[in-house]
Amino acid sequence: MKIIVAIKQVPVRDSQLKIDAAGRWIQESDLSFEINEPDAYALEEALQLKEKHGGEVIVLCAGPARAAQTIREALAKGADRALHVEEDGISGLDTLGVSRLLARAIETEKPDLILTGLQSDDLGYGQTGVVVAELLGLPHGTIIMQVEAMEGRIKVKRELEDGWFQHVEMPLPAVLTIQSGINKLRYATLMGIKKAKTKEIKRLAPSEMGGATAAAAVVEKIYAPQRGKQTQILEGDARTAAAKLVEKLKFEVRVL
């Protein structure tokens, strides 16, 4: 089974973020980066499927040159090789633009299964896997909790609301977005880190893949939420004031 795992490099979660001069994105020059955590679970699922059924795990990442560090980390965990769509202006592309780059890279490999994380830690759109599936004309499943591979098909368990689950069978090839927490993430071993240095990272330029497409949606401005203080005096006796407080906590603050 040939599995492609799409991963994304994102700022470390506890980073102190500052808005850039243009006001359209964050300053990246002084940030540290890591693999998007939901994508790490997709990688772990792919590695476990490979251990059960054999085959090959290929990491796919679209991003600037610095993303090579994150790709090497994925290779150190057990991925066999990688595809790096090197695009310095990746932050200026919307979901459709990024998905088109990923889909073009996937078409050259003709994999049996494509996995992504459910969403990204930085933007959190939760759309890339679904859009890639649509561009490739493949069946897809989202919020996947379990994958069972069969001859030419897979059976998946999807998480729904209120503790409900859905079991679906679909033909291969297919695209799945993996729910975080379904497996215990592995660490890269010392041997894995050494082997990662010799594994292939094939660099693909957007210009060789038809070029980067213009964004259909553009971020005009980002800004930190405004902070303000406001005091309200709740009139009435203790019982009346308590009832008003509960109502505000429930319907305005929404903490109850």
23 or 57, higher pLDDT? 57
Residue with the bigger pLDDT between 166 and 256: it is: 166
Mean pLDDT of the chain: 91
Range list of H helices, the chain: 37-53, 67-77, 95-107, 128-136, 190-196, 238-251
The residue that leads in pLDDT, 50 or 234, is 50
The string of pLDDT tens digits covering residues 234-255 is 888 999 999 999 998 888 888 8
pTM for the model: 0.84
- The parent domain of residue 155 ranges over 2-209
Looking at the chain, the whole-number percentage of residues with pLDDT higher than 70 is 99
Residue 238 lies in a domain: no
30 pLDDT above the threshold of 90:
no
Bigger pLDDT: 23 or 127?
127
Give the tens place of pLDDT for each residue, 100-128: 999 999 999 999 999 999 999 988 889 99
Question: How far is residue 155's CA from residue 176's CA, in Å, rounded to a whole number?
Answer: 11
CA distance 13 to 36: 9
pLDDT bucket at 2, cuts 50 / 70 / 90 = very high
The single-letter code of the amino acid at 75 is L
pLDDT at 256 over 80: no
243 in any annotated domain: no
For residue 53, report the phi and psi dihedrals to the nearest 5 degrees: -120, -5
Residue 18 lies in a domain: yes
CATH number at residue 136: 3.40.50.620
> What confidence score (pLDDT) does residue 212 get?
65
251 falls within a domain: no
Domain count, the chain: 1
Let me know if residue 162 belongs to a domain.
yes
Query: Looking at the domain assignment, is residue 193 inside a domain?
Result: yes
Does any domain span residue 203?
yes
Residues 173/138, Cβ–Cβ less than 8 Å? yes
> Max alpha carbon distance in the chain (Å)?
74
pLDDT in tens, 200-227: 999 998 887 776 667 778 888 888 888 7
Provide φ and ψ at 220, rounded to 5°: -85, -35
Average pLDDT over residues 166-180: 96
Cα–Cα dist 73/87, whole Å: 19
Query: pLDDT for 77-89, tens place per residue?
Result: 999 999 999 988 7
Closest CA to 173 of 157, 149, 155, 153: 153
